[in-house]
Amino acid sequence: MLTADNTGVLHNFSPGPALLPAAVLEQAAVGIADFCGAGLSLLELSHRSEAYRRLQGEAMERWLRLYAVPEGYDVLFLQGGASTQFAMVPLNLLGAGDSADYVSTGRWSEKAIDEAAAVGVRHRVAASSADRNHSYIPRADQLDLDAAARYLHITSNNTIFGTQYPESPAVGTAPLVIDASSDLLSRPIAWERIGLLYGGAQKNAGISGLTVVCIRRDLISCRGSGVPTMMRYDTHAAADSLYNTPPTFAVLVLDLTMRWIEEQGGLAMVDAANRHKASLLYEVIDGDGFYEGHAEPAARSLMNVVFRIPADRALEPEFVSRAGEEGLIGLEGHRAAGGLRASIYNAMSVEGCRGLAEFMVAFRGRFG
């Protein structure tokens, strides 16, 4: 296949599961063949073994160090995806009579809100960007907050609509609960107001099967009643995330991904690279009216660049197929937002973004 930079490498812009650094794939393959020189594959190793427990402990420590998480938080390695957290958060954090606030900024926030309704807890929508098809992030002064809310739930990066909080909102007194599935480990974050941050690993932090929950210790004990054992944070915290069999291989891939981030110089360096990569694409989008970004500039995501070809939407499938011929794959938008989407997580190279930017310019030259 002909590729944009003639390296023969495909540039994978898929939203998730998404691309991984080449070094991570290579080292993960070693872990499958022979984990820690023990002569056994990690895939056939007991989660109670010394070797696995060491890996998991190191991965948890690396998470806390890399994210500069202050004292007082635990990290849990769970399963069930972010979608399971939509139910676990309200089940654990809300007791009888408690209520929570949610900000709706897209499909995933809506699902979190639906799930709070499904488990029957009291909750309110403090603000929603649905009025303009989730193209913006409500400002702090637009939030209608309940002073008694136990938490305020936000989605830090909206994978489908391509918006992202530039920083966590500093409003009210309730701790923030953040679904960070699609910008996990993409930038340093301020933990002061965060009570719980969760995300599936498969977009920016590894592979599917692992959900990371980072929770302030005072929120761990379950306030809900009748919550099944597996759905309780205190079950997993008390057992060091070994209450049942954890997704052992996905934990290895997370650890390798975090080691790769350390080699890049940590989250501040990765963040700078992400800003540069995104700017290459947004510059083309802003170049003239041929492309149009979905997100308002102030709310643009550094992870998912969502755009369309407003003058002729029929050109969008043509864009996807011609890009594919040049090795630029995974560019179709989500059915809820339509158009085109380039997911440019940590592992996407500058060359990949430059290749896509050049393709966009050439495509515009030909069809604009």
Ligand X SMILES: *Cc1c(COP(=O)(O)O)cnc(C)c1O
What part of residues 197-216 is at the interface with ligand X (CB under 6 A)? 200, 203
Please name the residue ranges forming H helices in the chain: 22-33, 50-66, 81-93, 107-118, 233-238, 248-264, 267-287, 315-325, 350-367
Query: Considering the rule CB under 6 A, would residue 330 count as an interface residue with ligand X?
Result: no
Work out which of 79, 83, 99, 142 binds ligand X, going by CB under 6 A. Answer: 83
Q: Is 16 in the site for ligand X (CB under 6 A)?
A: yes
By beta-carbon proximity to ligand X, the closer residue of 79 and 264 is 79
| Binding of residue 82 to ligand X (CB under 6 A) | yes
Kindly tell me the burial class for residue 327, based on how many C-beta atoms sit within 10 Å of its own C-beta (0-12, 13-18, 19 or more): buried
109/126 Cα distance (integer angstroms): 12
**Which of 74, 110, 179, 255: binder of ligand X (CB under 6 A)?**
179
The CA distance from 357 to 348, in Å, is: 13
Is residue 155 a contact residue for ligand X (CB under 6 A)?
yes
Contact call for residue 169 and ligand X (CB under 6 A): no
Cβ closer to ligand X: 16 or 175? Answer: 16
Task: Specify whether 179 is catalytic.
Answer: yes
Nearer to ligand X, 35 or 123 (CB): 123
- Taking CB under 6 A as the rule, does residue 63 contact ligand X? no
Q: Residue 303: is it exposed, middle or buried by C-beta count within 10 angstroms (0-12/13-18/19+)?
A: buried
Structure-block tokens of residue 139: 């400002």
CB of 174 to ligand X, least distance (A): 20
- 81 near ligand X, rule: CB under 6 A: yes
Point out the catalytic residue in the list 203, 255, 260, 277.
203
Q: Which residue from 238, 157, 152, 164 is spatially nearest to 196, judged by alpha carbons?
A: 152
Our finding on whether 181 is near ligand X (CB under 6 A) is yes
- Name the segment binding ligand X (CB under 6 A); options: 43-51, 81-89, 228-236, 351-359: 81-89
Q: Assess whether 144 carries a catalytic annotation.
A: no
What are the residues whose beta carbons fall under 8 Å from the beta carbon of 49, sequence distance 6 or more?
none
Number of residues that bind ligand X (CB under 6 A): 12
Kindly state the smallest distance separating residue 54's Cβ from ligand X, in Å. 26
- Indicate if 203 belongs to the active site: yes
Cα 92 to Cα 136, 146, 164, 309, distances in angstroms: 30, 19, 26, 44
Q: Residue 256: what residue type? A: L
Peptide bond into 247 cis (omega under 30): no
Task: Using CB under 6 A, list all residues that contact ligand X.
Answer: 16, 81-83, 108, 155, 159, 179, 181-182, 200, 203
